[in-house]
Amino acid sequence: MARDSCMARVTAGVAVGGAVGGAVGAVYGTYEAIRYKVPGLLKIRYIGKTTLGSAAVFGLFLGAGSLIHCGKSY
């Protein structure tokens, strides 16, 4: 039972981290694309790359933090 609970916590941490990271990455990517005057459709690619990268990093760290909080059940 504790293993399922820990896995659920880690999964929830990754999901929340990915959502928050995606939102932050989208805002930051849009700002950077406008700031550096990225041309045309490359803006969408740049914003997408920034969004996915930020979501992955935030998700990784929130998942790792959730795993640490689970205690001894690694």
Cα separation of 50 and 42, whole Å?
12
Average pLDDT in the chain: 91
Instruction: Give the three-state DSSP class for 56.
Output: helix
Distances (CA, A) of 41 to 17, 33, 47: 28, 11, 10
Domain ranges of the chain: 29-69
Say what the pTM is: 0.86
Helices (H) and strands (E) in the chain, counts: 2, 0
Per-residue pLDDT band at 47 (split at 50, 70, 90): very high
Q: Which two tokens stand for residue 4?
A: 């399922």
pLDDT at residue 2, as a whole number: 56
